[in-house]
Amino acid sequence: MKDFIKILQRFLPPYKSDLIMSFVYNLLAAVFGVFSFVMMQPVLEILFNDTKVIVTKVPWEASVDAIKHNFYYYTTLIKAEYGADSTLLFVGIVLLIAVLFKVTFTYFGSYHTVQVRNSVVRDIRTKIYDKIVNLPIPFFTEEKKGDIISRSTSDVQEVENSVMNSLDMFIKNPILIIVALVTMIIMSPQMTLFSFIILPVAGYIIGRIGKSLKKKSRLGQNKMGDLLSTIEETLSGLRIIKAFTAEEKVSAKFATENNDYRRIMNSLMRRRILAHPISEFLGTVVIVIVLWYGGRLILTGEGGMNGAGFIAYLVVFYSIINPAKAFSKALYSIQKGLAAMDRIDQILEAESTIVDKVNAKSISQFETAIEYRNVGFSYNGEKQVLKNINLKIPKGKTIALVGQSGSGKTTFVDLLPRFYDVIEGGIFVDGEDIRNCKITDLRNLMGNVNQESILFNDTIFGNIAFGVENATKEQVEAAAKIANAHDFITATEEGYYTNIGDRGGKLSGGQRQRLSIARAVLKNPPIMILDEATSALDTESERLVQDALDKLMRNRTSIVIAHRLSTIKNADLICVFHEGEIVERGKHDELIKLNGTYKKLNDMQML
């Protein structure tokens, strides 16, 4: 309950006015609702010819007594003038009007809670999304991605269904219950006091049954889980089971578990069907006791109530049962929602490890050099992925990284935009440790083109202009021309405004890659990072892409992870990676002469 209130405190404040409106409308609805039940009394009185005769009118005021008094005054008038059946019609019309008010106010009450509910769910989703976008890359390991998706979809759904559904219940039902109670006290304080001595006793007994059902049903679920995992285990181990001719053994084990499940379910279902007759019987016991007690009050004339009043009282009494049930159900379903909220909070409260320092430096330009000094890195703290890396990349030079897959090249370039932070040593841009720089400034210095071209479900224009605000049509076209993309773009149906579909699925690999290049050209950063940008392409599209890349690298500082000899040969320096270290460096001819790792890679045609 405490946690539930905490959630409400976190998410509800912006919607205070809606909540107040909903509260007011629900209160009005409850008042008119109870009023319509109370109308039972005059109807019965007319039918049994037992109406009160009131011949004087009192001034109208908002008190129960005045309203009651004048109501009887008018029924007396109408009855004297037009007879009993017209009076019945009059009472009926008053009843109709009361109900009309009630349903209208109920509608407006829920109208406002709907607004709160959907807004809160929207806010939670937005919060998660913003958090995801801002969390650093190391947070998103493979196993976590699915988890995050399930948290931001089904867990949010769960919160919506339970907590937010209950919101309506939590506003509406207490009001209904309190208004009915107050009415009952006004109608007969004695009866009400009496009823509320016996009701908790009955409630307690019914509650006990519910609890034992819950325990049993958890047992049943666990057993079902056992069954499923046995089946799964069997399917994956079928070969071994057969090889060891253990069919009978596993069948026997399964049969035992299956039978256990039957036993639990038998007992659960028997209890469940028992719950209904018990609560029905207890309910009747309560009613009989109330009937007996109330009847005595009326017969002795002690309670100040007549028979019709007593029946109306019972109707109001009865009207508490449904809201009370709904209320306790809501309490139960909140528990489920709270568990989901906990899982969501694990994302919302995850700490960003890669953030700007308090007085982080702005950098607007790249002037002299990038330098890796004694850099060491590990993803999990166990396996050292980069060891003792020292490399200086002067402005304007092109550095090629080569090495077997898994040797650490991608990791090396991921450290520069601080997708990950180094563990040992440091990376310096113009002599400044990148951990002291503003992250956005740092990343603005760099453009990326990777093996996988990452495109978004948007127009071609939108994809090229992705990282640049207010790019003009001319700028985008110019970038596309440099990237050898203009021709194929204009050949598409709507040119630059063609939507490329989910992840660019409508385009070929080479086309996608040229869009990525155009995006980098438009951003026009001083430093380019190309990670196997052509390795996923066939030779024909590779030629166009390679040409585009050459243009992209011109006049920039580039780090190129490449497998193509021509790119490597043009580089100012080649670094050969092996198991996280730079084992050789130099120009192509020098490295061949060295007759080491590079020569081996070359001979195996891995370049």
- List the single partner that 281 binds among Mg ion, ligand ADP, none, CB under 5 to 8 Å by kind: none
For Mg ion, the closer of residues 378 and 499 by Cβ is 378
For ligand ADP, the closer of residues 75 and 513 by Cβ is 513
| Three-class DSSP category at 468 | coil
- List the single partner that 56 binds among ligand ADP, Mg ion, none, CB under 5 to 8 Å by kind: none
> Which of left, alpha, beta for 214 (phi over 0: left; psi -120 to 50: alpha)?
alpha
Q: In this structure, are strands 398-403 and 557-561 parallel, antiparallel, or unpaired?
A: parallel
Shortest gap between Cβ of 137 and Mg ion (angstroms)? 14
Query: Which part of the chain contacts Mg ion (CB under 5 A), choosing from 187-195, 230-238, 360-368, 404-412?
Result: 404-412
Binding mask 354-393 for Mg ion (x = CB under 5 A): ----------------------------------------
Element at 135 (helix H, strand E): none
Longest dimension (CA), the chain: 124
**Are the C-beta atoms of 455 and 504 separated by less than 8 Å?**
yes
Q: Which residues pair with 577 in a beta bridge?
A: 403, 582
Token match 């999990």: residue? 380
Shortest gap between Cβ of 435 and ligand ADP (angstroms)? 20
- List the single partner that 200 binds among ligand ADP, Mg ion, none, CB under 5 to 8 Å by kind: none
For ligand ADP, the closer of residues 254 and 419 by Cβ is 419
Rule CB under 5 A: say whether 448 interacts with Mg ion: no
Shortest gap between Cβ of 427 and Mg ion (angstroms)? 18
CA 607 – CA 605 distance, rounded (Å): 5
Structure tokens at 555: 């006049």
* Contacts with 53 (C-beta within 8 Å, 6 or more apart), sequence order: 72, 76
Q: Which residues pair with 391 in a beta bridge?
A: 372
CA 286 – CA 320 distance, rounded (Å): 14
Residues that bind ligand ADP (CB under 6 A): 379-380, 385, 403, 405-411
The values of phi and psi at residue 465, to 5°, are -85, 15
- List the single partner that 519 binds among ligand ADP, Mg ion, none, CB under 5 to 8 Å by kind: none
Angle (CA) 476-512-149 rounded to 5° is 105
CA 344 – CA 125 distance, rounded (Å): 10
Which of residues 51, 165, 319, 410 is near Mg ion by CB under 5 A? 410
For Mg ion, the closer of residues 410 and 453 by Cβ is 410
- List the single partner that 411 binds among ligand ADP, Mg ion, none, CB under 5 to 8 Å by kind: ligand ADP
Q: Which of 498, 520, 576, 527 is nearest to 396 (CA)?
A: 527
Side-chain-side CA neighbours of residue 328 (13 Å): 11
For ligand ADP, the closer of residues 396 and 406 by Cβ is 406
Structure tokens at 157: 């759904």
For ligand ADP, the closer of residues 172 and 409 by Cβ is 409
Residue nearest to Mg ion (CB): 410
Token match 């005021």: residue? 61
For Mg ion, the closer of residues 41 and 410 by Cβ is 410
For ligand ADP, the closer of residues 433 and 581 by Cβ is 581
| Three-class DSSP category at 282 | helix
Write the DSSP symbol of residue 163. I
Shortest gap between Cβ of 577 and ligand ADP (angstroms)? 6
Write the DSSP symbol of residue 421. -
| Three-class DSSP category at 18 | helix
> Which of left, alpha, beta for 400 (phi over 0: left; psi -120 to 50: alpha)?
beta
- Size of residue set near Mg ion by CB under 5 A: 1
The footprint of Mg ion on residues 235-254 (CB under 5 A) is: none
Shortest gap between Cβ of 538 and ligand ADP (angstroms)? 21
- List the single partner that 236 binds among Mg ion, ligand ADP, none, CB under 5 to 8 Å by kind: none
For Mg ion, the closer of residues 37 and 577 by Cβ is 577
For Mg ion, the closer of residues 410 and 597 by Cβ is 410
For ligand ADP, the closer of residues 106 and 411 by Cβ is 411
The footprint of Mg ion on residues 458-497 (CB under 5 A) is: none
For Mg ion, the closer of residues 410 and 448 by Cβ is 410
Query: Which part of the chain contacts Mg ion (CB under 5 A), choosing from 345-353, 365-373, 407-415, 571-579?
Result: 407-415
- List the single partner that 407 binds among Mg ion, ligand ADP, none, CB under 5 to 8 Å by kind: ligand ADP
**Are the C-beta atoms of 341 and 9 separated by less than 8 Å?**
no
Shortest gap between Cβ of 517 and ligand ADP (angstroms)? 20
- List the single partner that 408 binds among Mg ion, ligand ADP, none, CB under 5 to 8 Å by kind: ligand ADP
- List the single partner that 162 binds among Mg ion, ligand ADP, none, CB under 5 to 8 Å by kind: none
- List the single partner that 527 binds among ligand ADP, Mg ion, none, CB under 5 to 8 Å by kind: none
Sheet arrangement for strand 369-378: 384-394, 369-378, 424-429, 432-433
Q: What is the dihedral of CA 63, 65, 71, 77, to 10 degrees?
A: -130
Cα–Cα distances (Å) from 432 to 278, 411, 530, 559, 572, in that order, read 77, 21, 23, 19, 24
Shortest gap between Cβ of 400 and ligand ADP (angstroms)? 13
CA 51 – CA 42 distance, rounded (Å): 7
Shortest gap between Cβ of 512 and ligand ADP (angstroms)? 20
Helical segments of 301-380, H only: 307-318, 321-348
Shortest gap between Cβ of 560 and Mg ion (angstroms)? 12
| Interaction site with Mg ion (CB under 5 A) | 410
